[in-house]
């Protein structure tokens, strides 16, 4: 049986407990995506209840419907365009006055039926607040229900009420909206007269509301009216609105939109007087006391660093164990498939392409789970905004918001979760900026490359050299941040007018849901761009199949076998064992030489040699170039490709170090290569994450191009500058 569908949108201030209620209603049956065209997260859940299919939309947390943040535009457009059956406004009862600002705006909008949920009513009561629900309901002509989201109280009744409202099909009440002062009302009435003939009856918005927006000079609504209205009518309307704005401006000596905001708060103050009483008893404000310690002048930073350190440790140290298990599992599977399947191209694709590629990325899953658990913990307890509070001064110097600190720091572990963590930033520009500079934070996968290069060429000073590399990454990030802020992402960083919500005990359920949401996104990516990317990289290194070897390896090997068989037959039992070891070593050597030639002659090798002229000016030979190319899949692969190309055993870095020394690499060119590794194109998983989080291919390609260009230029400067200074 198919059910009728009812759409219910949840609106509310940030920290009003909206998400908790959403989680309670939908559980794990939620779909997380983006609102079209923007990177604001869209959450949607479907449940069956009361004989209906309920579609629940979690609108972004906002303070107002004024369109200057994307969140506000998204929320308002959704209500205007999709006209959900019911909008439930989740009101933080312990914060009634400010919450009513959005609530009255939702009422003014007059598009959908509105229902108020007085959430956290228990907290409000504990604080000695008394709210007269019946009176509030009467004054605003909106049903008001009490809920306690984190105890799941009143949520069912809330849904039931919403369904009843949708069923009854009463139009949203037109009465008892916000009344402004007489001057403003006169202007509104005048504009309504002009608008009404064009907006009847179910037009794109309500005439009164549109009039208010015209007085506020709301560009989004102006554009909507421009397309909807006949040209003449629109011009007339625009002129009328402008002249009213002028009049109000002169009368109040203030912008009309400010006047309206003031009056709305005045109206709310009136409501507050009637519905809100507070008992004057003094109580201990736990949250405030906790905050006095956590943001204390002296211990605030040490505690913050301790938490961050713990998060880092948990993510990358504890995460290393399940990482190992996954790694073992993938290797085991590869070995199993290697034995079970007959030798074929498909097998090679499966093992060396798909499994190796996807396997190298899926190992990050534990990191991501743990990191996002920690971030959810920070956010749900309210500590995240304190992190921003503590760090903002420092981050502001690079034109960033305090909250950018966590993503950037996590970048030292792995860029994939780090870039995903940028979601905690509200402003799109801040988020993009953070996403673009996070790859300069040297991730842990690059460390093995530094270790081998620095260890080989700088000996006892290796530690200092690696430290310099890390510092350089931070410096480049800072410079890039400032550069982007003054060019591409111009404009001040978002105003830091940020609420510091009271500390709350987090709910395990919502922590787990947050964690799972992120991980799901990550896993979905495995099937997409990373799979395709791995196949391409594999194909480039596996083809062409027919390699013209510099000498006939099979014959040489057969010859070797025969020679040893001969010797072995003549030798005594003791010598036999020694001969066998020797034989195996010789055979391995030959196989390595053969593989080195195969790789050198693959498309990847050809590309490597073709672009060798690009790498030559920065002191990297074609082998280095090829390994850097394969590093696109994962930075861990760079070392193993170097190993293959230099025909050394993968085990033990000493042999590779020796081979690098023999290849004519100098400390200067090694340093140049380290800089290049630090800065150049991040791995495919990161690139895919950038694409996903910036919601654009343009920024993805920009990031790839920018990082690589910066890498080359920096390496060029260091290598050639070093040579000029006589270093080698």
Partner 1 sequence: MNHPDINATRLSKIAEGQRARIVAVGGSGALRRRILEMGMTKGTELLVEKYAPLRDPLEIIVKGFHISLRVEEASEITVEIVE
Contacting positions for partner 1 (CB under 8 A): 63-64, 66, 68, 94-95, 97-98, 101, 257-258, 261-262, 265, 288, 291-292, 295-298, 300-301, 385, 388-390, 392-394, 396, 495-502
Minimum CB–partner distance for residue 433 and partner 1 (Å):
17
* Residue whose CB is less far from partner 1, 265 or 307: 265
Minimum CB–partner distance for residue 70 and partner 1 (Å):
12
* Residue whose CB is less far from partner 1, 7 or 66: 66
* Residue whose CB is less far from partner 1, 501 or 682: 501
* Residue whose CB is less far from partner 1, 482 or 583: 482
Angle value at C-alpha 688, between 687 and 690, nearest 5 degrees: 65
Tell me, what DSSP letter sits at residue 529? I
Per the listing, tokens 């920096």 go with: 714
Minimum CB–partner distance for residue 262 and partner 1 (Å):
5
CA separation for the pair 292, 720 (Å, rounded): 53
- Cβ-proximal residues to 96 (8 Å cutoff; 6+ apart), any chain: 124, 129, 131, 272, 275, 276
Q: Are 379 and 425 in contact (CB under 8 A)?
A: no
CA separation for the pair 217, 182 (Å, rounded): 19
DSSP string, 404-415: GHHHHHHTTT-H
What radius of gyration do the chain's Cα atoms show?
Answer: 32
Angle value at C-alpha 574, between 568 and 576, nearest 5 degrees: 20
Minimum CB–partner distance for residue 240 and partner 1 (Å):
23
* Residue whose CB is less far from partner 1, 176 or 288: 288
Query: Cα dihedral sign for 573, 574, 575, 581?
Result: positive
DSSP string, 12-41: E-TTSSHHHHHHHHHTT-EEEEE-TTS--E
Minimum CB–partner distance for residue 56 and partner 1 (Å):
27
Cα atoms in the Cβ-side hemisphere of radius 13 Å centred on 33: 7
How many residues appear in the chain? 728
Minimum CB–partner distance for residue 292 and partner 1 (Å):
8
CA separation for the pair 358, 535 (Å, rounded): 10
Residue 13's Cβ-count burial label (10 Å; 0-12, 13-18, 19+) is buried
* Residue whose CB is less far from partner 1, 392 or 597: 392
Tokens for 378, please give them. Answer: 């920070």
CA separation for the pair 20, 379 (Å, rounded): 13
Minimum CB–partner distance for residue 93 and partner 1 (Å):
11
* Residue whose CB is less far from partner 1, 301 or 309: 301
* Residue whose CB is less far from partner 1, 63 or 372: 63
* Residue whose CB is less far from partner 1, 502 or 625: 502
Angle value at C-alpha 63, between 57 and 64, nearest 5 degrees: 90
Minimum CB–partner distance for residue 389 and partner 1 (Å):
5
Per the listing, tokens 């055979």 go with: 587
* Residue whose CB is less far from partner 1, 101 or 244: 101
Minimum CB–partner distance for residue 120 and partner 1 (Å):
12
Minimum CB–partner distance for residue 17 and partner 1 (Å):
14
CA separation for the pair 19, 374 (Å, rounded): 18
Tokens for 167, please give them. Answer: 């069923």
Minimum CB–partner distance for residue 488 and partner 1 (Å):
19
Q: How many CB atoms lie within 10 A of CB 343?
A: 8
Tell me, what DSSP letter sits at residue 549? -
Minimum CB–partner distance for residue 123 and partner 1 (Å):
11
First CA to last CA distance, the chain: 79
Q: Are 14 and 29 in contact (CB under 8 A)?
A: no
* Residue whose CB is less far from partner 1, 272 or 540: 272
Minimum CB–partner distance for residue 248 and partner 1 (Å):
16
* Residue whose CB is less far from partner 1, 64 or 708: 64
> Which phi and psi angles does 206 have, rounded to 5°?
-75, 135
3-state secondary structure (DSSP) of residue 467: helix
* Residue whose CB is less far from partner 1, 75 or 704: 75
* Residue whose CB is less far from partner 1, 357 or 502: 502
Minimum CB–partner distance for residue 388 and partner 1 (Å):
8
Q: Are 427 and 388 in contact (CB under 8 A)?
A: no
Minimum CB–partner distance for residue 73 and partner 1 (Å):
13
DSSP string, 564-606: HHHHHHHS-HHHHHHHHHHHHHHHHHHHHHHHHHHHHHSHHHH
Q: Which residues on adjacent β-strands are paired with residue 53?
A: 5, 48
Per the listing, tokens 């309500």 go with: 206
Cα atoms in the Cβ-side hemisphere of radius 13 Å centred on 209: 23
Q: How many CB atoms lie within 10 A of CB 235?
A: 12
Minimum CB–partner distance for residue 261 and partner 1 (Å):
5
* Residue whose CB is less far from partner 1, 493 or 598: 493
- Spell 489-506 as b/e; 16+ CB within 10 A means b: beeebbeeebeebbbbeb
Q: Which residues on adjacent β-strands are paired with residue 145?
A: 117
Minimum CB–partner distance for residue 386 and partner 1 (Å):
9
Minimum CB–partner distance for residue 258 and partner 1 (Å):
6
* Residue whose CB is less far from partner 1, 141 or 262: 262
- Spell 134-163 as b/e; 16+ CB within 10 A means b: eebbebbebbbbbbbbbebbbbeebbebbb
* Residue whose CB is less far from partner 1, 188 or 259: 259
* Residue whose CB is less far from partner 1, 258 or 585: 258
Tokens for 632, please give them. Answer: 């696109």
């Amino acid at each position: 049986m198919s059910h009728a569908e009812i759409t219910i949108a949840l609106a509310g201030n940030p920290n009003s407990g909206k998400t908790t209620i959403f989680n309670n209603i939908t559980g794990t049956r939620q779909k997380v995506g983006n609102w079209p065209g923007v990177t604001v997260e869209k959450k949607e859940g479907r449940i069956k209840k009361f004989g209906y299919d309920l579609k629940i939309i979690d609108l972004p947390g906002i303070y107002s419907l004024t369109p200057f943040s994307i969140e506000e535009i998204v929320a308002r457009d959704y209500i205007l365009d999709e006209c959900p059956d019911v909008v439930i406004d989740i009101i933080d009862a312990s914060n009634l006055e400010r919450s009513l600002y959005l609530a009255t705006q939702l009422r003014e909008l007059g598009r959908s039926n509105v229902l108020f949920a007085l959430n956290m009513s228990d907290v409000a009561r504990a604080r000695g607040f008394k709210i007269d629900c019946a009176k509030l309901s009467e004054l605003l002509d909106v049903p008001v229900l009490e809920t306690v989201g984190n105890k799941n109280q009143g949520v069912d009744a809330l849904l039931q009420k919403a369904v009843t409202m949708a069923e009854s099909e009463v139009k949203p009440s037109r009465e008892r909206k916000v009344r402004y002062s007489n001057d403003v009302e006169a202007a509104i009435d005048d504009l309504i007269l002009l608008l009404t003939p064009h907006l009847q009856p179910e037009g794109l918005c309500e005439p009164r509301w549109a009039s208010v927006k015209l007085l506020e000079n709301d560009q989004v609504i102006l554009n909507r009216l421009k397309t909807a209205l006949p040209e003449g009518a629109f011009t007339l309307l625009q002129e009328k609105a402008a002249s009213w704005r002028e009049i109000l401006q002169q009368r109040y000596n203030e912008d009309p939109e400010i006047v309206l905001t003031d009056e709305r708060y005045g109206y709310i103050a009136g409501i507050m007087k009637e519905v809100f009483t507070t008992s004057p008893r003094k109580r201990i404000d736990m949250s405030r006391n906790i905050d006095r310690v956590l943001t204390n002048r002296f211990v605030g930073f040490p505690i913050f660093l301790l938490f961050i350190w713990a998060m880092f440790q948990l993510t990358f140290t504890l995460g290393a164990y399940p990482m190992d298990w996954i790694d073992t599992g993938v290797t085991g599977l590869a070995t199993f498939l290697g034995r079970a399947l007959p030798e074929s191209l498909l097998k090679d694709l499966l093992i060396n392409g798909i499994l190796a590629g996807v396997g190298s990325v899926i190992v990050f899953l534990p990191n991501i789970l743990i990191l996002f658990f920690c971030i959810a913990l920070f956010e749900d307890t309210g500590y995240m905004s304190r992190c921003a509070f503590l760090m903002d001064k420092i981050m502001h110097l690079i034109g960033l918001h305090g909250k950018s600190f966590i993503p950037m720091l996590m970048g030292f572990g792995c860029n994939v979760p780090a870039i995903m963590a940028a979601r905690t930033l509200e402003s799109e520009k801040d988020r993009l900026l953070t996403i673009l500079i996070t790859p300069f934070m040297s991730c842990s996968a690059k460390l093995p490359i530094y270790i081998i290069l620095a260890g080989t060429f700088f000996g006892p000073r290796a530690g200092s050299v690696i430290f310099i590399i890390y510092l350089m990454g931070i410096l480049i990030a800072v410079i890039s941040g400032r550069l982007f802020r003054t060019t591409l992402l111009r404009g001040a960083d978002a105003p830091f007018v940020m609420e510091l919500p009271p500390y709350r005990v987090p709910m395990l359920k919502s922590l787990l849901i947050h964690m799972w949401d992120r991980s799901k996104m990550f896993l979905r990516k495995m099937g997409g761009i990373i799979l395709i990317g791995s196949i391409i990289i594999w194909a480039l290194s596996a083809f062409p199949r027919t390699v013209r070897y510099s000498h006939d390896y099979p014959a040489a090997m057969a010859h070797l076998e025969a020679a040893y068989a001969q010797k072995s037959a003549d030798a005594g039992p003791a010598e036999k064992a020694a001969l066998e070891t020797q034989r195996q070593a010789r055979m391995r050597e030959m196989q390595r030489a053969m593989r080195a030639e195969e790789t050198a002659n693959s498309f990847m090798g050809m590309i490597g040699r073709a672009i060798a002229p690009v790498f030559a000016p920065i002191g990297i030979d074609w082998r280095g170039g090829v390994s850097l190319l394969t590093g696109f899949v994962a930075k861990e692969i760079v070392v193993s490709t170097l190993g293959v190309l230099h025909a050394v055993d993968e085990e033990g870095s000493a042999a590779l170090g020796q081979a690098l020394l023999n290849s004519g690499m100098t400390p200067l060119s090694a340093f140049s290569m380290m800089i290049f590794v630090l800065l150049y194109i991040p791995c495919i998983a990161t690139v895919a994450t950038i694409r996903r989080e910036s919601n654009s291919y343009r920024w993805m390609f920009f990031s790839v191009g920018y990082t690589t260009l910066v890498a080359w230029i920096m390496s060029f400067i260091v290598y050639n500058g070093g040579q000029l200074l006589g270093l080698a």
